[in-house]
Amino acid sequence: MKFTTRELVLIAVFGALWGAVEITLGSVLKSLHVPFSGVILASIALLILLIARLFVPKRGSTLFVGVVALLLKLFSLGGVIIGPMVAILAEALLAEMTLSGLGVSQASFMLAAALGLVWSLAQPFITGPLLYGRALVDVWVGVIHKSAQALGLSPESVGLAAGLIILIYLAAGAFTGWLAWRLGARLRARNALQRA
Amino acid sequence: MTALPTPSQTTRRLPLGVVGRVSVLLGALAGVMLASPRQLPWVAALAALLLLLTFRYPSLARLLHPRRLLFLALLALPPLFFLGARDRALGPLPYSSQGLTAALQITLRFVVALMAVEGFASTVEISELAGLFEALGLKGLGFSLGVAFNLLPALQESSRVTWQALRMRGGLRRQKRRAAVYLLTTIFASALRRAEEIALAAEARAFSPERARPWPLTLRPADKWAAAGVLAGLLLLLLGR
């Protein structure tokens, strides 16, 4: 991965933007226990990440932005939390793999953002059992089973609800990707005009 | 006047460089993740001892922040009531003995993971990590990180000013969607303008990532032993499962 000075500066700026969002907005949302704060943060992060790829269209640049944001978060005030750091790295890695595999296009942007948002939903269910043991899965299954029983719901309807939530996340991700593409194009045009 | 050293600074630590410390961090995390329920108490105790010998720690109050305790409670309490049959009781409250074992295991894993990440972040310098990442192929990361760190306050300030300017003009009350697009466009445009200025300044000083001095990577003789020891320990753990 070789980047020019200008590209490294752009990576730094987008990494700093993401880091600033994680440190300020992320800390506030988590402290206030705002519902769906993970989705809000992941959407903004993916927006920044994807626009960064438009300005530095090279393999590895998306991951690079993620590493900068990760290190800023790791050394920020307010304590170290493993979850957000895993999320930053995973979202950057997913976006990098999608954009490197499919190339930079509106469709790949939408797919990368959709995958990133679904990851934010799935992350606790993947990292939780990995970090804290498989007993967590049995507990979650038990909680869902008993809640469904208490509400008089069938197992099929629980599955349907989970599917619906995943669909909503996919749609929100696709919208984020579309917005990143549009906003990035507008910013590039504006930037080109200023430089001319 | 020189500041008095804190208790953690006066305590001697293992003489490890960044590679050794990363090995200990990853080893501790992998150890508790891979350990079987039977192995877990020993592995957690060993990992905690190794972490205490390797890293400096902030105050206990910071480690046991209420938010972390709440998170631990959310992880460790449900198994008591939702895992297995409730065959025991604490006063009027029935709980499961199988759940109690799972809750203790979750707590052990949580404590080691917290000690590993918090100790690592408190001990390792950001320049050391940048040096390590550069050595792993992310050339120019040190430069990018330096720029990002210096830019953080300016970006936060410009985002705040943009937000307030938009709010004072009533942009957030009417046409919310358009206001959101204006907000994002202005923040990004301002960040890009700063990037342009920094890039021009760096180029004017003939800065080039290829010719730039790499960030120092502190390697100590004990690093090799630490990495080898962690690998051997993990291998033994897997064989003994």
pLDDT digits (tens, 9 = 90+) for A8-26: 999 999 999 988 887 777 7
- Judged against a pLDDT cut of 50, whether residue A3 lies above it is answered with yes
Both B145 and B169 in a single domain?
Answer: yes
Q: Rounded to the nearest 5 degrees, what angle is found at the Cα of B237, between the Cα atoms of B231 and B241? A: 150
Rounded to 10 deg, the angle between the A106-132 and B18-34 helix axes is 70
Q: Could you tell me the residue range of the domain that residue B177 belongs to?
A: 141-204
Name every residue whose Cβ is closer than 8 Å to that of residue B156 and which is 6 or more positions away in sequence: A20, A24
* B chain contacts of residue A133, beta-carbon cutoff 8 Å: 37, 102, 105-106, 109
Both B42 and B119 in a single domain?
Answer: yes
| CA closest to A182 among chain B residues | B181
Across the interface, whether the CB atoms of B144 and A9 are under 8 A apart is answered: yes
- Has residue B209 been placed in a domain? no
Name every residue whose Cβ is closer than 8 Å to that of residue B144 and which is 6 or more positions away in sequence: A8, A9, A11, A12, A15, A64, A68
pLDDT of residue B218: 75
Torsion of CA B226, B227, B232, B238, to 10 degrees: 120
Give me the residue from A67, A75, A187 closest to B121, CB to CB. Answer: A75
Higher pLDDT, A195 or B31: B31
- Has residue B67 been placed in a domain? yes
Both B24 and B75 in a single domain?
Answer: yes
Give me the residue from B65, B126, B146 closest to A79, CB to CB. Answer: B65
**Alpha-carbon span B105 to B42, nearest angstrom:** 12
**Helix, strand, or coil (residue B14):** coil
Across the interface, whether the CB atoms of A9 and B199 are under 8 A apart is answered: yes
**Alpha-carbon span A116 to A173, nearest angstrom:** 7
Residue A193 forms contact with B (CB below 8 Å): no
- Residue A175 C-beta-side C-alpha neighbours within 13 Å: 11
Q: How do the domains of chain A map onto residue ranges? A: 5-195
pLDDT of residue B12: 61
Both B195 and B147 in a single domain?
Answer: yes
* Average pLDDT estimate for A88-116: 94
Both B125 and B91 in a single domain?
Answer: yes
- Has residue B222 been placed in a domain? yes
Both B97 and B168 in a single domain?
Answer: no
**Alpha-carbon span B46 to B28, nearest angstrom:** 9
Both B100 and B180 in a single domain?
Answer: no
Spell out, as residue ranges, where chain B has pLDDT lower than 70: 1-12, 172
pTM: 0.81
- Give percent of chain A with pLDDT exceeding 70: 94
Number of neighbours of residue B181 by Cβ within 10 angstroms: 15
pLDDT of residue B91: 83
Across the interface, whether the CB atoms of B185 and A47 are under 8 A apart is answered: no
**Alpha-carbon span B206 to B225, nearest angstrom:** 41
pLDDT of residue A80: 55
**Alpha-carbon span A13 to A68, nearest angstrom:** 9
pLDDT of residue B1: 41
- Has residue B190 been placed in a domain? yes
* B chain contacts of residue A191, beta-carbon cutoff 8 Å: 189, 192
Both B76 and B192 in a single domain?
Answer: no
| CA closest to B157 among chain A residues | A20
The tally of domains found in chain B comes to 2
- Has residue B116 been placed in a domain? yes
> Across chain A, what does the average pLDDT equal?
86
Both B125 and B182 in a single domain?
Answer: no
| CA closest to B147 among chain A residues | A12
Both B125 and B145 in a single domain?
Answer: no
Task: Name the range with the highest mean pLDDT among A79-83, A87-91, B58-62.
Answer: A87-91
